[in-house]
Amino acid sequence: MMEDTISAIATAPGEGGIGIIRLSGEKAVSIAYKIFRPHSAKSLQEYGNRVAVYGKVYDEHGHIIDEAICIVMNAPNSYTCEDVVEIQCHGGSVVMREILSLTYRMGARPAEPGEFTKRAFLNGRLDLSQAQAVMDIINAKTKASLDMAINHLSGYFSNKIREFRHDILAIIAHLEASIDFPEDDIEDLDFEDTREKVKLLQDKIQKMLASAHMGIILRDGLKTAIIGRPNAGKSSIMNLLLGQERAIVTDVPGTTRDSIEEYVNIGGIPLRLIDTAGIRATDDIVEKIGVDKAYSYAGEAELVLAVFDTNEELSAEDEEIIRLMDKCPGNIIVILNKIDLSGDKNTELLKERLKGCTAAKIRGIVPMSAKNGEGQEGLEELLKEIVYNGRTNIGESQAVCDARHEEILRRTVNLLEEALNTIDMGMSEDFIVIDLRSAWEKLGEITGETFDDDIVNQIFSNFCIGK
Ligand code: GDP
């Protein structure tokens, strides 16, 4: 058990029906004994482990702070593997802060962000990748993101990594045996066989890496910009996708001046939407800021929804959008909006015009009506195609969903490549072992079996307080 006893409000900031103050560490239980008295004649000690006890929280002067439920969870059967106490009180910010500060006065100290989970990791209850999954569960944007995080928490991904490490160790062991006992000529080391095993492992890791595109999108969302000239229907499309009125929708060109960022769930894929001001030449300063932003967003976005109004002739502003599309690095979906109105003035012309530009990045053209929702399914299908890349059963449980993990796996693949080169150059077993050992260590950074304090601290500092 860590020396310090930590304490924090574990529920979300703000007011709620219930708020939870959580303590972990050596003094957690004794602090609970001091500040909580059960309603019944029994003392908290008599209730024992993992029982919800109804009673009141008292300060050091015997004043009642609140009614509450107190649960004592003795080590090691708790979230942190330490003694943990949870006090469920009323969810007002004043009452929670009062109880929190009382626990400080009784000897606890404020928990740092993610410190409960960090303790769970340091005490061996979770590995590093599982600890990260805890945060992913909290932040999950869609059910698919949540499913992936739950699978990661249950250790499926970590086990796969451990399997890879185990495979590397087995190859190393074989090589070392032939180094240590050359005279025993354990069937004279077959370099071809070693090569094959390393290659097989490298392929497996490559396959896992291929899921990173999807996994990272499911976890972090696909950064999406909506571009189009004023009044093309950008805000309306965003509202349609959000399923609620959020952006200001109006007839006056250029009113969506500020950018709004919001997550939307399209067929399980979280899009991080950035609405942008209409793009047009203008002298208006505020408008200009919006326009410049539109350019920078479209340049950063992984997906651009380019909206055109099918009822208007292609204008100089539309031409500007088409030019901008040429500069977008991400995938582009063209939306032909307002198909509920009859006067299609430009679909054919637009399609013709688009043939000349960025064809490789234009993943599809979707006729749509932001007004009645027509075409939304087509958009959803197209998105799934882009994100899942034709794989319907994508095995989210094994998906790489973190840029750090992706980088580690990439480096592991390179280290295995070096091992292959070493074999091909006819070098001795010792050199192959050196390469393989580096790969083995690198992989351990995912689960935290080999880890650097700074990295671990950085990972947990992104957590919220109380988690
Ligand atoms: P923005 O400037 O590109 O954000 O465009 P808005 O979303 O503000 O839409 C401009 C106008 O077009 C508003 O009056 C909308 O109600 C209208 N509009 C947007 N989409 C459609 C559509 O699919 N059909 C019809 N009939 N009107 C639409």
- Per-residue H/E/C for the chain: CCCCCEEEECCCCCCEEEEEEEEECCCHHHHHHHHEEECCCCCHHHHCCCCEEEEEEECCCCCEEEEEEEEEECCCCCCCCCCEEEEEEEECHHHHHHHHHHHHHCCCEECCCCHHHHHHHHCCCCCHHHHHHHHHHHHCCCHHHHHHHHHHHCCHHHHHHHHHHHHHHHHHHHHHHHHHCHHHCCCCCCHHHHHHHHHHHHHHHHHHHCCHHHHHHHHHCEEEEEECCCCCCHHHHHHHHHCCCCCCCCCCCCCCCCCCEEEEEECCEEEEEEECCCCCCCCCHHHHHHHHHHHHHHHHCCEEEEEEECCCCCCHHHHHHHHHHHHCCCEEEEEEECCCCCCCCCHHHHHHHHHCCCCCCEEEEEECCCCCCCCHHHHHHHHHHHHHCCCCCCCHHHCCCCHHHHHHHHHHHHHHHHHHHHHHCCCCHHHHHHHHHHHHHHHHHHHCCCCCHHHHHHHHHCCCCCC
Q: Which atom of ligand 1 approaches the CA of 338 most closely?
A: 23
Residue with CA closest to ligand 1 atom 9: 233
CA angle, 215 then 298 then 275, to 5°: 85
The share of the chain scoring above pLDDT 90, in percent, equals 46
Task: Write down the pLDDT at residue 231.
Answer: 86
Cα-to-chain-centroid distance, residue 306: 26
CA distance 158 to 128: 9
Task: Write down the pLDDT at residue 139.
Answer: 84
Question: pLDDT (tens digit, 9 = 90+) per residue, 269-317?
Answer: 888 877 544 444 455 554 554 556 667 777 888 899 999 998 888 888 8
The share of the chain scoring above pLDDT 70, in percent, equals 86
Instruction: Please check the confidence at residue 187 and state whether its pLDDT lies above 80.
Output: no
Q: Which atom of ligand 1 approaches the CA of 253 most closely?
A: 2
Residue with CA closest to ligand 1 atom 19: 233
Assign 229 a pLDDT band (cuts: 50, 70, 90). confident
Query: Could you tell me which CATH number the domain at 217-388 has?
Result: 3.40.50.300
Q: Where are the domains of the chain?
A: 6-127, 132-211+400-448, 217-388
Averaged confidence pLDDT in the chain: 85
Residue with CA closest to ligand 1 atom 6: 233
Contact 179, 429 (CB under 8 A): yes
Task: Write down the pLDDT at residue 2.
Answer: 60
Instruction: Please check the confidence at residue 168 and state whether its pLDDT lies above 70.
Output: yes
Q: Which residues line ligand 1 (CB under 6 A)?
A: 228, 230-236, 249-251, 256, 278, 337-338, 340-341, 369-371
Q: Determine which of 110-119, 176-185, 426-435, 439-448 has the lowest per-residue pLDDT on average.
A: 176-185
Assign 253 a pLDDT band (cuts: 50, 70, 90). low
Task: Write down the pLDDT at residue 206.
Answer: 93
Mutate to test the pocket of ligand 1, among 234, 236, 310 (most ligand atoms within 8 A of CB): 236
Task: Write down the pLDDT at residue 189.
Answer: 67
How many Å lie between the centroid of ligand 1 and the Cα of residue 231?
A: 6
How does 116-126 read in b/e, with b if 16+ C-beta sit within 10 Å?
bbbbbbbbebb
Compute the average pLDDT of residues 115-119. 94
Identical topology for domains 132-211+400-448 and 217-388: no
Compute the average pLDDT of residues 216-224. 86
Out of 236-250, 328-342, 383-397, the most confident range is 328-342
Task: Write down the pLDDT at residue 392.
Answer: 47
Instruction: Please check the confidence at residue 68 and state whether its pLDDT lies above 90.
Output: yes
Q: Which atom of ligand 1 approaches the CA of 337 most closely?
A: 23
Task: Write down the pLDDT at residue 424.
Answer: 94
How many Å lie between the centroid of ligand 1 and the Cα of residue 331?
A: 24
Q: How far is CA 463 from CA 53, 131, 418, in A?
A: 30, 10, 36
Pick the CATH number of 6-127 from 3.50.30.40, 3.40.50.800, 3.30.1360.120, 3.20.20.220: 3.30.1360.120
Q: Which atom of ligand 1 approaches the CA of 254 most closely?
A: 2
Query: Could you tell me which CATH number the domain at 132-211+400-448 has?
Result: 1.20.120.430
Instruction: Please check the confidence at residue 186 and state whether its pLDDT lies above 70.
Output: no
Structure tokens at 303: 């997906």
Structure tokens at 329: 């690095």
